[in-house]
Amino acid sequence: MGARTGQLVGGRYRLVAELGSGGFGRVWRAYDDVLHVDVAVKELRLPTTASDTEQADRLARAAREARNAAPLRHHPNIVSVHDVVIADDIPWIVMQLVEGCSIDDHVKSHGPLPPDRVTDIAVALLRALGAAHDAGILHRDVKPANVMLAANGEVLLTDFGIAIHRTDTVLTATGVFIGSMEYVAPERALGDETTAASDLFSLGATLYHAVEGISPFRRGEDVATLGAVLAQDPAPPTLAPPALAALIMRLLAKEPKRRPTVRQALAMITERPTDPHRTADHTVLLTRAATVMKAELARRLLGLAAEHGIAFTAPPATAVIPKKKPPTPTRKHSTAKPGRRWTWQRVGAYVILVLLLAIGIHGAAVNDWDPWNLWTLLEEDLGSVGGEFADHPANIFLLVSGFGTFFAVALPFAFLVGGRAAKAVAAAGKVVTFVIGLVIGVAGLGLGAAASYFTLAGLADLLKPLLDRVAADWTSLVVITLAVIIAYEWGSMKAKKAAPGRSRRPR
């Protein structure tokens, strides 16, 4: 037996007029005879072909879901549920009466909603769903018909769980989908578990419908609609502002993990980019205001001090200047070169050079200054080893080694003297600089050759009491060559830096 106008439900709620109907049942405007207020009463229709056990189970579950929605009745964006009444084995849900229309009714009558209005609706519905999800409640049926636009501008989400078993998208034995297929999430259409992300997908489809005036997945047939929900991405909204369009497309992602959470969605729709010009204007205004306030405070202090005979001098008025960022440090802080650390290798190198210098001075003292004398001495010494100088392989080896030693000492002199001289006259031009550097470099080469000669002669003279002439010359050549190489290697070594995490021992 169907309900009728004037019928008293639960001995308290008198039906006044039918407000709407659908596959889930009918919504009535009713009057509460106890509290004397107008309310909305939803009459739920249950399948007539169900068994008594199924009927009782559906009845109990519908009543339980309605009671679960009761804790949300104080949220400003959720239609309040006041009571659940079971009459003639039919559940009646008593709710807040909203004077207005749904998004679905508005689009049918007036077309798409203004983009700014849809943005406000998105914020309101996100807050409503956020509160419900925090309370462990899933809506499961977010769609344009369940979003009420009140005459006073409020946005309210209705049907929180009260029609869950009538609108769940499940495949029945006859192959028919029950519910609003074009707004359900793909995972629900496949029979997977419903989550908070499923409600957000339905919200995205609802907002798309509100701003574009059409459902994103509605097709001519149910099978085509289901295919669109599962496999097709809708065209991006053309009437929505960028932030709202981006939010809608993120909410309509097929994979639940790719959809934003409620908090992320709110951040996407509510955050506004800062206008740099406006920020600069505010900074100037605040700076001026601070200056004026400081001057006014100083004037009042002067007046107060004068009244009490206190000597007081106001500080000079200075403008409040925003702090500047410290300059970015550069790698080069000073032109002064850091000193090199002295190591035992460097000390040893200098000791070797000083000894070689002393030996060279000794060689210069005991020999004449004829540079060809060294050739004569070598020729005489080497000739005693194996006949003529150029006929014996050992003589050729000694000749090459000897000149190698000369150049090992002479070349550093050449580069050192010639290079510094070239730098000193660098402003004279490239050609002049090259010529002067070359001339002085050659002079340095000669100086180095002379130093090698006297050093070799001096060491050979020192070794003659211990060795014969030939052995002394050979030994001097080998010792000086090794000494020069060691001094060069040790002198060019750099101090090793302490490894990270290791502390240096105090000296």
Residue-wise pLDDT for 171-209, tens only, equals 343 444 445 789 999 998 888 888 999 999 999 999 999
Residue 311 lies in a domain: no
* Strands laid side by side in the 100-102 sheet: 100-102, 147-150, 155-157
Average the pLDDT over each of 210-214, 291-295, 360-364, 389-393 and give the range with the smallest value: 389-393
Q: What is the CATH number of the domain that holds 26?
A: 3.30.200.20
Taking 70 as the threshold, does the pLDDT of residue 361 lie above it?
yes
Same-domain status, 45 and 165: no
Average pLDDT, integer, range 350-355: 83
| Domain containing residue 75 | 1-97
Domain end call among 69, 97, 125: 97
Same-domain status, 8 and 86: yes
Annotated binding site: 42
Same-domain status, 380 and 471: yes
The string of DSSP codes covering 119-186 is HHHHHHHHHHHHHHHHTT------SGGGEEEETTS-EEE--SSTTHHHHS--B-TTS-B-S-GGGS-H
Same-domain status, 85 and 103: no
Annotated binding site for ATP: 42
What angle separates helix 242-251 from helix 262-270, to the nearest 10 degrees?
A: 160
Residue 298 near residue 314, CB atoms below 8 Å: yes
Taking 80 as the threshold, does the pLDDT of residue 167 lie above it?
no
Q: What is the pLDDT of residue 336?
A: 46
Residue 48 near residue 108, CB atoms below 8 Å: no
Q: What is the CATH number of the domain that holds 231?
A: 1.10.510.10
Cα gap 14→2, rounded to integer Å? 15
Same-domain status, 360 and 435: yes
Q: Which residues pair with 156 in a beta bridge?
A: 148
Taking 80 as the threshold, does the pLDDT of residue 236 lie above it?
yes
Residue 182 lies in a domain: yes
Amino acid sitting at position 319: A
Same-domain status, 24 and 103: no
Q: What is the DSSP letter of 26?
A: E
Instruction: Quote the number of domains for the chain.
Output: 3
Q: What is the pLDDT of residue 329?
A: 52
Taking 80 as the threshold, does the pLDDT of residue 332 lie above it?
no
Cα gap 424→437, rounded to integer Å? 10
Residue 356 lies in a domain: yes
What angle separates helix 262-270 from helix 115-134, to the nearest 10 degrees?
A: 150
Note the pLDDT tens digit of each residue in 363-380: 777 766 565 565 565 555
Residue 44 near residue 162, CB atoms below 8 Å: yes
**Is residue 57 annotated as a catalytic residue, yes or no?**
no
- Please identify which of the residues 141, 159, 199, 381 carries the catalytic annotation: 141
Same-domain status, 126 and 267: yes
Residue 432 lies in a domain: yes
Domain end call among 66, 97, 128: 97
Does this model's pTM top 0.85? no
Cα gap 432→425, rounded to integer Å? 8
Regarding predicted confidence, which is higher, 441 or 84? 84
Note the pLDDT tens digit of each residue in 95-109: 889 999 999 999 999
Same-domain status, 126 and 265: yes
Same-domain status, 110 and 37: no
Domain end call among 239, 272, 305: 272
Residue 187 lies in a domain: yes
Tokens found for residue 90: 């039919």
Tokens found for residue 369: 């200054």
Cα gap 458→402, rounded to integer Å? 15
Same-domain status, 264 and 155: yes
Same-domain status, 127 and 63: no
* Strands laid side by side in the 81-87 sheet: 8-9, 13-22, 25-32, 37-44, 90-95, 81-87
